[in-house]
Amino acid sequence: MADGEAGQLSMLLAFRAENAYSFYDELDFSLEATAQAEKGVPREVHWHRKGGRPLRVLPAAGVFGANASGKTNLLKALHHLRDLVLFSFRSGDPSGGVHRHSFRLDPEAADKPTRYEIDLVLNGVRHEYGVIVDSRRVLQEWAYRYPHGRAALIFNRTHGEQIEIPAGKRTIGRAIERIVRPNALFLSAAAAGEHPDLLPLYDWFGRNLKLAEASSRQARWAFTAQLLREDASREQVLALLRAADLGIADVRIRPPDPKVLERVRRAILILAGHEDDAEGFPEIDLTELGLVLSHRGVRDDVDFNVSEESLGTLVWLGIVGPVFEALQSGTVLLVDELESSLHPLLTERLIGLFQDPEANPHGAQLIFSSHAPSLLGSTTRSRSLGRDQIWFTEKLADGRSRLYPLSDLSPRQEEAIGKRYLSGRYGATPIVSHEEFIEVARLIAGGHQ
């Protein structure tokens, strides 16, 4: 990859949070490569205009751990920061406080602020953005960029109301300051005011950190169907469907009922971050989308209604649209339980799309949660992820989640990571008592005597 091309990549570097969901203490998640990185996987990204040594950034990371250990909550925290940026000003209730998700298992957490910080390279320039909120208002908020290698202030908000703005931007900064509410982010208001230094950062949140989870599957079906309708994307999306070896030869789309179109339109707008999802995604039955999947037969292709398809096919149908969009535009995609209903080899191939520089020339990134130890590999060759791309979550005795990278445990290059993970060598596995399960079985059996 040429330096000029690498310098234009926009990639996520790190995310930190505190008192968010099950993470009462600070979580520190990084996508910067370490000395343990696999050869050819990190992308070299120039982060300021004077050149110098580029950053080495990872295109994928997986989070593994027991049920309810915090894997999904890491993804939700990233997605929630996105929602705060996009909607706290334009959709927020002026008197409604700040919608946040503090740790709920300790009553003292309700009085402790929630903090989010994110580092990224945006169009070849490093940016840092952070915000601290409580349930009533924004307490602190800041943004810096590094156009020439040193931190340059964009704005700094302290004590909720005092906003420091550098010379040369004070006219537009003061105009935005007059309209921002105590419970809205300055970054959100700055987008409405078209602040030239903050609009690109706001737009980055609009394009990135979309969360593919069970609740969004119907909207993702609608999005994939929309891509299959458009000439510019149909062939590439169809190729992804065929590549999964599900037997799909073609996809035809009948025009949906006009009554369904409005629900489809709104679901896609929510997925894209153009509308708030406070009320959830509109219900869309897959059969309403008019999709007809043709499968290869002995002599001719045979049409199947989507209601006749396997769960794995339907899961893949819902993920290929967001994957195509991420690879095409170089954005960060969040996927909860990536392996759900998918064959392990298919999951590995999906990760491989992001790992391969030729398949992913625009620097798209995949952050996912998983229970599948096969992705960790039994040998170096069988790993889908490098040692610095593997993270673990662990639930502590008081319900708090802890996030830590495998690289902190200094695994050897030839280590059988999957096998050692299942044996509990890295922690992050459930503590399941065989005797307790037997006792429950006895109680159940006794109830039928």
Per-residue pLDDT of the chain (449 residues; tens, 9 = 90+): 333 344 478 999 999 999 999 999 999 999 999 999 999 999 999 999 888 899 999 999 999 988 889 999 999 999 999 999 999 998 877 888 999 999 999 999 999 999 999 999 999 999 999 999 999 999 999 999 999 999 999 999 998 778 999 988 888 888 999 999 999 999 999 998 889 999 999 999 999 999 999 888 888 988 998 999 899 999 999 999 888 888 888 888 887 788 888 888 888 888 888 888 766 788 887 778 888 888 887 888 888 877 788 888 888 989 999 999 999 999 999 999 998 878 788 899 999 999 999 999 999 999 999 988 888 876 656 678 999 999 999 999 999 999 999 999 888 888 888 888 887 778 766 655 556 656 777 777 776 55
- For position 100, which CATH number holds? 3.40.50
Do 251 and 379 share a domain, yes or no? no
Given a contact cutoff of 8 angstroms between Cβ atoms, the answer to whether 389 and 426 are in contact is: no
Given a contact cutoff of 8 angstroms between Cβ atoms, the answer to whether 319 and 335 are in contact is: yes
Given a contact cutoff of 8 angstroms between Cβ atoms, the answer to whether 102 and 110 are in contact is: yes
Cβ within 8 Å of residue 40, ≥6 positions away: 357
pLDDT at 309: 83
Do 283 and 236 share a domain, yes or no? yes
CA–CA separation, 222 and 285 (whole Å) = 10
Given 299, 328, 357, the domain boundary residue is: 328
Do 100 and 180 share a domain, yes or no? yes
pLDDT at 449: 52
pLDDT at 50: 85
- Domain count along the chain: 2
pLDDT at 280: 76
pLDDT at 112: 96
pLDDT at 389: 96
Q: How many CA atoms lie within 13 A of 309 on its CB side?
A: 25
**Structural domain harbouring 313:** 215-328
Do 371 and 308 share a domain, yes or no? no
pLDDT at 381: 62
pLDDT at 156: 96
The tokens describing 29, both together, are 């998640």
Given 328, 350, 377, the domain boundary residue is: 328
Do 288 and 174 share a domain, yes or no? no
pLDDT at 447: 61
Do 426 and 344 share a domain, yes or no? yes
CA–CA separation, 389 and 407 (whole Å) = 8
Q: Name the one residue in this structure whose structure tokens are 């399960």.
A: 437
* Model confidence, pTM: 0.91
Cβ within 8 Å of residue 425, ≥6 positions away: none
Cα angle for residues 120, 194, 85 (degrees, 5° grid): 45
Do 159 and 103 share a domain, yes or no? yes
Do 184 and 86 share a domain, yes or no? yes
Q: Which helix (H) or strand (E) holds 120?
A: strand 114-122
Do 247 and 143 share a domain, yes or no? no
The tokens describing 67, both together, are 């049920």
CA–CA separation, 29 and 21 (whole Å) = 15
Given 310, 328, 346, the domain boundary residue is: 328
Do 244 and 379 share a domain, yes or no? no
pLDDT at 170: 84
The tokens describing 279, both together, are 């009320």
Given a contact cutoff of 8 angstroms between Cβ atoms, the answer to whether 57 and 330 are in contact is: no
pLDDT at 7: 45
pLDDT at 2: 36
Cα angle for residues 346, 245, 284 (degrees, 5° grid): 80
Q: For residue 391, which of 374, 376, 412 has the smallest C-alpha distance? A: 376
Q: For residue 207, which of 89, 99, 86 has the smallest C-alpha distance? A: 86
Do 126 and 62 share a domain, yes or no? yes
Do 59 and 119 share a domain, yes or no? yes
Query: What are the backbone dihedrals phi and psi of residue 253, each rounded to the nearest 5 degrees, phi first?
Result: -130, 115
Q: Write the DSSP assignment of 259-323 as a string of letters.
A: HHHHHHHHHHHHHTTSS--TT-PPP--GGGGTEEEEE--SSS-EEEEGGGS-HHHHHHHHHHHHH
